């Protein structure tokens, strides 16, 4: 199956700093990418959907100025958590779809800890 690489897998940052998470599709062109936040009791919360070359569509309640999403090319999307606070600590997961099939492929996830 198609491969999505997410980096870093773990990051610890200080409160007030910014963190960038990368999501790359390695062997297909990702026309649509999704960013999720996963809470301790496993539920996935969709944060935003992005299409290459256009602005991301954020879900209700997600601050777009805090969670900056850039889908600059068909193989790369980035999520930047700006001015991170301890409550932003979570597991963030990206996924990607291409035009070739109905499924989405997931990155390995990033465990963000803000201290």
Partner 1 sequence: GDSVTQMEGPVTLSEEAFLTINCTYTATGYPSLFWYVQYPGEGLQLLLKATKADDKGSNKGFEATYRKETTSFHLEKGSVQVSDSAVYFCALSDRYNFNKFYFGSGTKLNVKP
Residues of this chain that interact with partner 1 (CB under 8 A) are 1, 4, 6, 31-32, 34, 42-44, 46, 49, 51, 57, 93, 95, 97, 99, 102-109, 111
Closest CA to 8 of 74, 71, 78: 78
Name which of 5 and 82 has its Cβ closer to partner 1. 5
Q: Taking the complex as a whole, how short is the minimal distance between the CB of residue 16 and partner 1, in angstroms?
A: 27
Closest CA to 90 of 60, 66, 56: 66
Q: Minimum Å distance from CB 83 to partner 1?
A: 26
User: 14 vs 61, which CB is nearer to partner 1?
Assistant: 61
**Residue 68 near residue 62 (C-beta atoms within 8 A):** no
Nearer to partner 1, 15 or 108 (CB): 108
Q: How many CB atoms lie within 10 A of CB 78?
A: 18
**In whole angstroms, what is the distance from residue 80 CA to residue 65 CA?**
10
């Amino acid at each position: 199956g198609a491969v999505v690489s997410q980096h870093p897998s773990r990051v610890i940052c200080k409160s007030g700093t910014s963190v960038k998470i990368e999501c790359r599709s390695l062997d297909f062109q990702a026309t649509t990418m999704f960013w999720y936040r996963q809470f301790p009791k496993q539920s996935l919360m969709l944060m935003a959907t992005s299409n290459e070359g256009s602005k991301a569509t954020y879900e209700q309640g997600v601050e777009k100025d805090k969670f900056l999403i850039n889908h600059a090319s068909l193989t790369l999307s980035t999520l930047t958590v700006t001015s991170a606070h301890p409550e932003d600590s979570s597991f963030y997961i990206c996924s990607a779809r291409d035009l070739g099939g109905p499924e989405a492929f997931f990155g390995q996830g990033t465990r963000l800890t803000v201290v």
